[in-house]
Amino acid sequence: MRQRNKPWAKDKLAEYPQYVISEPEKYKGKWKEAFDKDQPLHIEIGTGKGRFITGMAKANPENNYIGIELADSVIVTALDRIIEDGLPNVKLLNVNANDLRDYFEKGEVDRVYLNFSDPWPKKRHAKRRLTYKSFLEIYENILGDKGEIHFKTDNQGLFESSLMSFSEYGMLLTFVSLDLHNSDYEGNIMTEYEEKFSSRGSRIFRCEVQYR
């Protein structure tokens, strides 16, 4: 995987401990303490520059949000958005989704968002897809009963392999749209990638699945 980590970005993230949690393992089992209000916790994995997570936090003050992103040079832009809006219900973690079980207790998270995840189209890289069964197992271990994953992408191949992966894992499909922007779905918050691809006319695929 291409590394996009930069020392200046790490320094900036460290300057805002109220928004960027540097030792998330310390909050395991007590994420309520990191927020002003005890309310449902939704996380986005691969949050990028934070357009979605900050938009969701603004639109839904009744939820808490955590954006999780590996690349510090990207997540700093999400931090800029949070600083600008002074949002109390969103935090950032500059960590790898592989390690989520180190940071959250089973049942601490109510919903996982995966938006425009890297497609890893080659079969030999399938295990790196964030909807691969090993990742579904990680999410199951931090979500509560009937926890949900909401997934959207412009990549039809990734969408199809993800639907297969959800089904093989025994998950229940509760919503599907094969053309989100030409549907009656309301309340969509766009991500950076979504803005880029939809403006070029790409179709956006979206689904919601639930653990049984």
Ligand X SMILES: C[S@@+](CC[C@H](N)C(=O)[O-])C[C@H]1O[C@@H](n2cnc3c(N)ncnc32)[C@H](O)[C@@H]1O
Instruction: By CB under 6 A, name the binding residues for ligand X.
Output: 45-48, 68-71, 74, 96-98, 115-118, 191-194
Q: How many other CB atoms are found less than 10 A from the CB of residue 163?
A: 18
- In angstroms, the CA 130 to CA 121 distance is 12
Q: What is the smallest separation between the CB atom of 38 and ligand X, expressed in angstroms?
A: 26
Q: Is 195 annotated as a binding residue?
A: no
Q: What distances in angstroms separate CA 45 from CA 66, 120, 185, one per listed residue?
A: 9, 16, 22
Q: What is the smallest separation between the CB atom of 93 and ligand X, expressed in angstroms?
A: 9
Q: Is 194 annotated as a binding residue?
A: yes
Q: How many other CB atoms are found less than 10 A from the CB of residue 202?
A: 16
Indicate the residue among 48 and 170 with the shorter CB distance to ligand X: 48
Q: Could you tell me which of 132, 162, 130, 147 has the C-alpha nearest to residue 211?
A: 147
Q: Is 154 annotated as a binding residue?
A: yes
Q: Which residue out of 118, 145, 179, 184 is catalytically annotated?
A: 118
Indicate the residue among 32 and 197 with the shorter CB distance to ligand X: 197
Indicate the residue among 82 and 170 with the shorter CB distance to ligand X: 82
Does the active-site annotation cover 85? Answer: no
- In angstroms, the CA 105 to CA 100 distance is 9
Q: Is 69 annotated as a binding residue?
A: yes
What residues are annotated to the active site? Answer: 118
